[in-house]
Chain A
Amino acid sequence: MTVKFTKDHEWVRVEGSTAVVGISDYAQQQLGDVVYVELPEVGRKLERGKEAAVVESVKAASEVYAPLTGEVTAANSDLTAEPARVNSEPLKGGWFFKMTITDPKQLDGLMSEAQYADYVTGLG
């Protein structure tokens, strides 16, 4: 399944009717060592572009925004014990949460992997 990206450096992987969400490799590199992740509770309704989670590196706390509108169906509890997974495998074991997709058209507004790579290059 293809992965799509937001300008705020979240990624979304669609698995059937569910979207898996995490932060990009670029984002984890910028953050540095992740020491704490605050995840949304299952059942929480998320709105596209609004805060969904918090990721804290040694240096600072950063918000993770909902890439889509929907409801949280799972949170990655592995990150509570092992937040460094966000650094070591950001697109795999470092996923943050899963959510329903209220409006599939919202996926069209996200960047493809190639578009995101260009976008990040443009950030310098």
Chain B
Amino acid sequence: MTDQPLEKTPLHALHLEMGARMVPFAGYDMPVQYKTGIVAEHLHTRSEAGLFDVSHMGQLRLDGPDAARALETLVPGEIQALKPGRMRYTLLTEAGGGILDDLMVTNRGDHLFLVVNAACKADDTAHLKRGLEPRVKVTPLPERALLALQGPKAAAVLARLAPAVATMPFMSAEAQSLDGIPCLVSRSGYTGEDGFEVSVPADAADRLARRLLCEAEVKPIGLGARDTLRLEAGLCLYGHDIDRGTSPIEADLGFAMGKRRREEGGFLGADTILRQLRQGATRKRVGIRPEGRAPAREGTEIIDAAGRAIGRVTSGGFGPSIDAPLAMGYVEIAQAAIGTAVALMVRGTPRPARIAAMPFVSHRYYRGPAANS
């Protein structure tokens, strides 16, 4: 533990006012839950709309005519072909093939806009500067806050403030004025639900959050439910499910790598990662459904039918929407097929479980007026 005082997001006072239980997270004093608790918040997000403060996350912009090409030296994603107003999930890789962070990259036309994990943002910024400057100007945006509005009612709610957001397709972004506040609105999120992430000037974040909370469908949601929602959606949590010791192939994140990039390489760790892509990795990230009700937590050993250790749980808990325990973790490739019977060593006792398809709860992204009609 460090004695460093925790940082506060621009919504800190609002969290306290709403009765949040605050916990340290990535150096910030953050709400883990509000009065109704994690299960109610989780279920509310899946049925209505939840407002999340994710201002602890890092926002950066990359400027320079060559920014997309330059960034491709650090990520395996297709950035050059990313159209203005579109965004993409990709990874910062390192020379050995491990993952430094996962991130969102948006083409803003005249620059790239990046959102990175809170715990990684200082290292990411240094890494980006080292790898890209002076070709590209790397600018952190600490003067911006980030809100997420997630759930099946999110679009109807946000459209009351800016009608044009209603038809924005998943993984698109555009500048919008919300209640007179200039924002960057993207149709994206970390819950598996339809929804938005809104980059807003820090000094207007509290006002925007209060405005959104006035809408009947909207309730504040803490980090606890954010974690159960993303786990049900099968989404990775950096530092747990992916880190410097896991490669994109092992993590089954091939979709974060562009087709051209797989052929051309040219990003940090490409040798290792593309070799794994050709030859196959020895282990793979999988979903796991424990039988019975007992959750298996991060670090739980996974064994095969013969009692041999084949991997570990990297995220595990209880899924309120599936009303059952769930986990993800890494297992040897031979045991990674969906339906494979395994056992989880919970408090010294092997408990039956099966490798399961992810997501555990179907994604409900909005693909555009034609796709969703």
Chain A contacts to B: CB under 8 angstroms = 32-33, 35-36, 38, 54, 56-61, 80, 83
**Cα-based distance from A114 to B183 in the complex (angstroms):** 53
Q: How far is the CB of A89 from chain B (nearest CB, A)?
A: 16
Residues of chain A within 8 A of B208, CB atoms compared: none
Task: Indicate if the CB atoms of A33 and B37 lie closer than 8 Å.
Answer: yes
B294's partner among A32, A36, A59, A60 (CB-CB below 8 A) is: A36
User: Does any Cβ of A come within 8 Å of B352's Cβ?
Assistant: no
Q: Is the beta-carbon distance between B38 and A38 smaller than 8 angstroms?
A: no
A61 touches B295 (CB 8 A): yes
Contact B224–A32 (Cβ < 8 Å)? yes
Known contacts A36-B293, A80-B293; 11 additional CB pairs below 8 A are A32-B37, A35-B293, A36-B294, A38-B347, A56-B294, A56-B295, A58-B224, A58-B228, A58-B318, A59-B32, A61-B295
Interchain CB contact under 8 A, B38 and A56: no
Contacts of B320 on A, CB cut-off 8 Å? Answer: 33, 58
Chain B residue numbers with a CB within 8 Å of A33 are 37-39, 320
List residues of chain A with CB within 8 A of the CB of B315: none
Shortest CB-to-CB span from A27 to chain B, Å, is 14
Residue in B33, B39, B224, B318 whose CB lies within 8 Å of A36: B318
Instruction: Return chain B residues, CB-CB under 8 Å to A83.
Output: 293
- Is B97 an interface position by the 8 A CB rule? no
What are the 9 A-B residue pairs with the smallest beta carbon separation, nearest first?
A: A33-B39, A35-B318, A58-B38, A36-B293, A33-B37, A58-B318, A32-B37, A36-B294, A56-B295
Convert B221-265 into 0s and 1s, putting 1 for each residue whose CB lies closer than 8 angstroms to a CB of A. 000100010000000000000000000000000000000000000
Q: Which residues of A contact B295 (CB under 8 A)?
A: 35-36, 56, 61
B297 at the binding interface (Cβ < 8 Å): yes
Q: List 26 A-B contacts (CB under 8 A).
A: A32-B33, A32-B37, A32-B38, A33-B37, A33-B320, A35-B39, A35-B295, A35-B325, A36-B294, A36-B318, A38-B294, A54-B347, A56-B295, A57-B38, A58-B38, A58-B39, A58-B42, A58-B224, A58-B318, A59-B32, A59-B38, A60-B297, A61-B295, A61-B297, A80-B293, A83-B293
A32 to B42, CA, bound (A): 13
B27 within 8 A of A: no
List of B residues within 8 angstroms of A36 by Cβ: 293-295, 318, 325
Interface size grouping (class) on chain B: 10 to 19
* B84 in contact (CB, < 8 A): no
Contacts of A58 in B (CB 8 A): 38-39, 42, 224, 228, 317-318, 320
| Contacts between chains A and B (CB distance < 8 A), count | 42
Separation of A52 and B332 alpha carbons in the complex (Å): 35
When the two chains form their complex, are residues B224 and A59 in contact, meaning their CB atoms are under 8 A apart?
Answer: yes
How many angstroms from the CA of A89 to the CA of B284 in the assembled complex? Answer: 43
The residues of A that contact B325 with a CB separation of less than 8 Å are: 35-36
Determine the chain A residues whose CB is within 8 A of the CB of B347 once the complex forms.
38, 54
Kindly supply a per-residue 1/0 record for chain B positions 309-353, scoring 1 wherever the CB is within 8 Å of any chain A CB and 0 otherwise.
Answer: 000000001101000010000000000000000000001000000
Candidate in A33, A58, A61 with the most chain B CB atoms within 10 angstroms: A58
Q: Which residues of A contact B293 (CB under 8 A)?
A: 35-36, 80, 83
A41 nearest CB across to chain B (Å): 13
Roughly how many angstroms separate A2 CA and B123 CA in the complex, as a whole number? 56
Q: Is the CB of A59 within 8 A of B37?
A: no
Contacts of B228 on A, CB cut-off 8 Å? 58
The chain B residue with its CB closest to the CB of A37 is: B293
Residues in B neighbouring A61, C-beta threshold 8 A: 295, 297
CB distance from B124 to the nearest CB of A (A): 27
Q: How far is the CA of A59 from the CA of B25 in the complex (A)?
A: 14
Q: Which B residues lie within 8 Å of A56 (CB)?
A: 294-295, 318
The residue in chain B whose Cβ has the minimal distance to the Cβ of A63 is: B347
Residue of B nearest to A87 (CB): B37
Inter-chain CA distance A32–B23, complex, in Å, is 14
- List residues of chain A with CB within 8 A of the CB of B224: 32, 58-59
Closest B residue to A56 by CB, please name it: B295
Question: What CA separation (Å) do A35 and B297 show in the bound complex?
Answer: 13
Nearest Cβ distance between residue A61 and chain B, in whole angstroms? 6
